[in-house]
Structure 1
Amino acid sequence: MRRVWKRQLAVVSLCTSLATAGGLAAKVPRPPSYVDLATPFETTVTETVGQTEAMRIATIRARMNALLPGLYPDGAGTDQRIASAVRQFPADSPGYDRVIAAFPMALNGVIVRFRKVFPDFAAPLPIYLYHSLGQRDGGSDYLQPGKRHVMLFGADMIARYHSDDSFEPFLVHEIFHLEHARHFADCDQLWCTVWQEGLAVDATATMIPHATDHQLLLDIPAPVRAPTEARWTDALCFVAAHFDDTDSATTASALQMGGNPPDGLPDRFGYYVGFRLTQATGLKVTRLSRLGNMDARTVARDGLLKLMHDAHAGCAVPPTASPTRSLRARVGRHADEKEGS
């Protein structure tokens, strides 16, 4: 417990020093508020050392769900992930602690950068930093009970994937999703998620010129660009054929790790297709991000048709119009989501 408090005091001291140095305090906007649930998880793990695994799982569940109801869903699968996280925590804690310490300043820095492009940005969802039990680095979710819509950042997966120069670009990607959500509603069709993720990659490329594929999140779990380009026609035809599909397995196939993509295409190839699709529109991301669902579908379809034409791809053309159905949380599809959220 003492170690955690010392770390928090150090972070407060560092933030104060950086904000006041050179009289910059008045120029730095207040960071968006977020709730740190990652530290209580660590505290509970430390306090329950020596208890049985079942007792530790129950205590962690009780404390975390008291702080944010529905954070860890009921079920044996979640219990197994909690147990695994507890066993692994001694080895993971150094990286995990670094994320907790760095997150406030990193988030504030990204917001400063972000508001240069989106001056009126304000987070439409509450933001939480937590232990995701290996499920996500970032993304939104609808928590039970009540289907409360929240933005969740997983300190454990950020430590795994973004403990380098991809940390800030990753935050830009996820903060863009919050900006986009002000104008575009989550929907179940494949094109919706391809559009959302492609725009987030495009926004990162816009705000961080010369960003590498690693910074654009196009190398998780392995490089996406080259193997997708090698099967470019197949990638385009898959998206075209399933443009309006609402089957979650189809979305997983194109956008999730371990999602069983078509033969020869890499995991998460839909991110790269979406990125190329948004670029094919010829419009800036600031304009594309403000399109509602109906207009966005038209623009996304036109972009896909242009890519198909340029590639001489003889794919089935998506219908001109189709209703958007249902709402689905935009979960962090960068992380390992074999079971989904």
Structure 2
Amino acid sequence: MPAFWAVHDRAAGGTVEERGRAIVEGFFTPEIEAYRGAGIGRVDFVRWLQVFDPMAAAVRRLSAQFPALWQAHAARFRRALPDAVDDAPVTILPSFYYFDARVRMWRDRIVLFVGLDGVVRLHGADADLGILLDHESFHLYHHQVNPTLLLPAGDPLWLGIWKEGLAVHASAVLNPDATRLRVLLGDAALAAIGPEVIARVAAELPPVLGATANATRARYLAYDYRGDIPARSGYVLGWVIAQRAAAQGRDLAALARLPATEAEALTRREILALAR
């Protein structure tokens, strides 16, 4: 982020087109390997700046606060899950609205990328970073303790539902006083999902649970999905599945270690049970 702000500030006063070119030449291109690792492709920098400018001050504040916020979060997370390995790289950058935070394989390691512009755009200037970082840190932990989740063909839909649902469940367990809305990062549409929507989503899933195509996964897992069910409904369905598994006596550490074959069988079985 310091490198980004240096380029951003040097370009201040130019036209939006000039500023966009400055960011491409002075920041994006030199950092292209990190952006490839984060899964960020084409960016319309002029459009991005037009949206970014009104929120730049909030992103700058968060950028300055983030190191201390992360250190406090990491210490609290390790107290809750002492077997968490604190060696995963954490890369903070503008994601150009591709994401708020995501865990990816990069250079043969699991890496957490945090896009501060995405955080502010999706969750507001007063974003609840405690919940967001718990969610993403649990993704790191999940992969650290369970290498069976690294499937060579990529995540099928069932695995995306399981991993996201378990991360939501972990956020709820680690923040027992948090409301459902807060656990779901302020997404009112997700928080309003009830049994009828869960049943409807579960009923349509069995034929596509093995799909790895983004077009199929997006209906259930993407922020920007627009259709006849709430965006990211798979997160809530996965949370229900994780809660049902936890009710059988499994804690977070045990759930995280379920081998992929067992997690798949559990997810498919629970989806059939929830459908009607």
Q: 1:147 to 1:240 in 2, by over 3 A?
A: same
Within the candidate set 172, 189, 206, 1:223 is matched to 189
TM-score (norm 2): 0.84
SS at match of 1:259: coil
Identity %: 26
Q: Which amino acid aligns with 1:43?
A: A
Please name the residue that 1:109 is paired with.
72
Alignment partner of 1:150 is 2:111: yes
Q: Do structure 1's residue 39 and structure 2's residue 15 form an aligned pair?
A: no
Partner of 1:20: none
Partner of 2:202: 236
Distance 1:123 1:136 in 2: 23
Q: 1:189-268 counterparts in 2 under 5 A?
A: 189-217=156-184, 219-220=186-187, 222-261=188-227, 263=228, 265-268=229-232
Once the two structures are TM-superposed, the CA of residue 119 in structure 1 deviates from its matched residue by 0.7
Q: Taking structure 1 as reference, are residues 42 and 89 closer, same or farther at Cα in structure 2, changes over 3 Å only?
A: farther
User: Alpha carbons of 1:233 and 1:155: their partners in 2 closer, same or farther (altered >3 Å)?
Assistant: same
2: CA distance between counterparts of 1:218 and 1:105? 21
User: Shift in Å at residue 197 of structure 1?
Assistant: 0.3
Q: Identify the residue that residue 270 of structure 1 maps to in structure 2.
A: 234
Please state whether the residue corresponding to 2:203 is helix, strand or coil.
helix
Q: Report the counterpart of residue 130 of structure 2 in structure 1.
A: 168
Distance 1:88 1:260, change over 3 A: closer
SS in 2 for 1:223: helix
Report the CA distance shift for 1:48/1:225 in structure 2 as closer, same or farther (over 3 A).
Answer: closer
- In structure 2, the CA distance between the partners of 1:209 and 1:303, relative to structure 1 (3 Å rule), is same
Judged with a 3 Å threshold, the aligned counterparts in structure 2 of structure 1 residues 115 and 148 are, in CA distance, closer, same or farther, namely closer
Q: Is the alpha carbon distance of 1:237 and 1:124 closer, same or farther for their aligned partners in structure 2, counting shifts above 3 Å?
A: farther
Shift of 1:175: 0.7
Are residues 74 and 295 of structure 1, via their aligned partners in 2, closer, same or farther at CA, if it must alter by over 3 Å? closer
1:83 partnered with 2:49: no
The normalised TM-score by structure 1 is: 0.69
Cα distance in structure 2, aligned partners of 1:172 and 1:244? 28
Is the 1:124–1:178 Cα contact (8 Å) retained in structure 2?
no
CA contact (8 A) 1:132 1:154 kept: yes
Cα deviation, 1:319-340, whole Å, max 9, x if unaligned, reads xxxxxxxxxxxxxxxxxxxxxx
1:163–1:285 CA distance, 2 compared to 1 (3 A) = farther
Confirm or deny: 8 A CA contact 2:202 2:271 kept in the other structure.
yes
Rg: which structure is higher?
1
| Structure with greater helix share of residues | 2
Name the amino acid aligned to 2:169.
D
Mapped contact 1:129–1:154 kept (Cα < 8 A):
yes
C-alpha deviation, 1:305, in angstroms? 3.7
Q: Secondary structure at the match of 1:66?
A: coil
1-structure distance, mates of 2:252, 2:40: 39
Say what the alpha-carbon RMSD is for the aligned residues.
2.6
Do structure 1's residue 96 and structure 2's residue 62 form an aligned pair?
no
CA distance in 2, matches of 1:219, 1:52: 35
Alignment of 1:7-26 (within 5 A): none
Instruction: State the 1:59 CA deviation.
Output: 3.2
Give the secondary-structure state (helix, strand or coil) at the position aligned to 1:280. Answer: helix
Cα 1:276–1:133 change in 2 (3 A) is same
Q: Structure 1 166/133 Cα, relative in aligned 2: closer, same or farther at 3 Å?
A: same
Gaps of 5+ in 2: none
**Whole-Å separation in 2 of the counterparts to 1:225 and 1:240:** 24
The CA deviation at 1:218 is: 5.6
* Residue type of the alignment partner of 1:151: L
Q: How big is each residue's C-alpha offset from its partner over 1:58-105, in whole Å with a ceiling of 9 and x where there is no partner?
A: 432343342452516897x41x1x223333444212211221122122
Contact 1:218–1:224 under 8 Å retained in 2? no
Unaligned runs of 5+ in 1: 1-37, 314-341
